[in-house]
Amino acid sequence: MFNYADYARNLRHELHQIPEIGYDLPKTTAVVKRELDAMGIEYTEKYGQGSVVAYLGQKEGFTIALRADMDALPLQEESNNPFPSTHPGAMHACGHDVHTSQMLAVTKKLKDMESQLRCRVKIIFQPAEEYITPGGKMMVENGVMEDVDCAIACHVAGTMDYGHIGICPAGGTNTNSMGILCEFFGKSAHANSQHKAVDAIRMAHQAYMGMELMAAREIPSKECFVFNVGSFHGGNTNNIVCDYAKMFISARSWDDDLSAFMERRVREICDSIAQMNGGEAKVTVTKLIPYNLNNPIMVDKLWASAQKTLGADHVHTIERTMGAEDFAFMSRQKPCAMFRFGVGSNDVPGSRNPLHNGKFDLDERCFDYGIDVFVNFILDNQDGIEF
């Protein structure tokens, strides 16, 4: 009998060694296409750079999409696993190697039972979930959800033991996430002639203090939000008044109106500070990911199928987070649900490290459970879902 979990583990070892960033995923997509070719499954790359989308089951009719992201992070690996990254400065520290290898195992298992399928299944392998320009947004804009009735996806969670999954209740599961670049343009001069200059560092510093006051004083304390200036740069040497400075901000919230408020106030603060100092400011939203929506009917269907697969005591209600995930773009198009997939254990200490950490690892016994959550969701709902 074919061991789909071992198949996923072996693929994960291969993918973990070749992490790639953003949309430039030639080695990763080559593995995906190689395996789909071996399964005899047709696929397309028409939904954008670095994407691969496959179909199986019926040629038309009720269509369930399953999504896996493939990209890695610009991070040096420090884990102790025996198949480390061979690409310096790149690592699968967010578990996307697990998502991809597991989805290939799901695809293979569904292909092996294709004669039993009464629906169409669309497998979405997505690039650039971690990138400034989200791959999920690109694929939606290119029409990936147009022929889909509903979709599910997962994300690894080292905080949860393998064999367990967590599902947020219906509604928002995470946060709106904005990346905001603030640039300040001044006028340089020698440090001993400061009166002839417009100091960009001073403008940026004053704007920073204004934004800190905005976050502390202008937003109700009951709101869930994050406002963080994570990057601040200006100037090249000590005896020149700086003529250009920039800040890069992460602004997150659970509320669309609050997100819009923070963006508006950042623009107002930067513009007014620049005008006061005789310089100019430019504010650019470089990244905007809406919060993911769990559809109530999809949550009920996923919950029922997961309990039947794993047992009632292995399926948990989890709380909304301040994280971001570009499956949100798909969830805004059609009914969707996303679950957290436990990969942790005390036997693999690295699995308790946070995601996006160079020492992150996971317990690969997770594959013994995750594959069937996807497969059984398809089998349980292949005759359609009424929304």
Tens digits of per-residue pLDDT, 79-100? 988 999 999 999 999 999 999 9
CB 63 within 8 A of CB 119: yes
Domain 4-172+291-381: give its CATH code: 3.40.630.10
Tokens of 126: 């997505």
Q: What backbone torsions phi and psi does residue 253 show, to the nearest 5 degrees?
A: -160, 165
**pLDDT at residue number 132:** 87
- What's the average model confidence in pLDDT over 301-321? 97
Selection from 147, 114, 198 nearest residue 44 by Cα: 147
176-289 placed in CATH 3.40.50.720: no
Residues 3-46: pLDDT tens digits?
999 999 999 999 999 999 999 999 999 999 999 999 999 999 99
Please, what sign has the CA dihedral across residues 342, 345, 348, 354? positive
Rounded to 5, what percent of the chain is helix, strand, coil? 35, 25, 35
Residue 142 pLDDT exceeds 90 = yes
Q: Distance (Å, rounded) from C-alpha 102 to C-alpha 125?
A: 11
Map out the domains of the chain as residue ranges: 4-172+291-381, 176-289
pLDDT at residue 63, rounded to an integer? 98
pLDDT digits (tens, 9 = 90+) for 168-181: 999 999 999 999 99
Could you tell me the pTM of the whole model? 0.94
pLDDT for the residue numbered 375: 98
